[in-house]
Amino acid sequence: MFIKAAQEKDIAAGGMKAVTLEGRELVLCNCGGTFYAVERACGHANARLERGALTGWILTCPLHYAQFDVRSGEALSGPVPKAPDSAHADPADPALKTRGLKTWPVRSEGGHIYINITVR
């Protein structure tokens, strides 16, 4: 069942908006007029993703710069290591793991954005 989440005019191209629907926190992303819905918390350290950057369909976390594909939720890259000498950090280090994001189907109609919250 699709639920009205926002008005299209409230999210500029390249912009994002956090919404809560039926207890789930989501971020709506406007990728050139096509809207996507992903979970709000980063798959690494639960940072609020609407505070990050959206470049095309790539969402970059504001905390450790992990990147996600908003079309599929796939984690494209893990967090950037903090320490200057960690450029050679072991990629198997659990602290650098990032899970993908949950996504939901989106429909735009009559200037509104609808999310099918029951399907993932």
Instruction: Give the model confidence (pLDDT) of 21-70 as tens digits.
Output: 999 999 999 999 999 999 999 977 789 999 999 999 999 999 889 999 99
Q: What pLDDT shows up at residue 98?
A: 83
Q: Which residue has the higher pLDDT, 26 or 99?
A: 26
Could you give phi then psi for residue 51, rounded to 5 degrees? Answer: -90, -5
Q: What pLDDT shows up at residue 79?
A: 86
pTM of the model: 0.85
Domains of the chain: 2-116 (2.102.10.10)
Task: Classify residue 65 by burial, with Cβ atoms within 10 Å: 0-12, 13-18, 19+.
Answer: middle
Q: What pLDDT shows up at residue 97?
A: 76
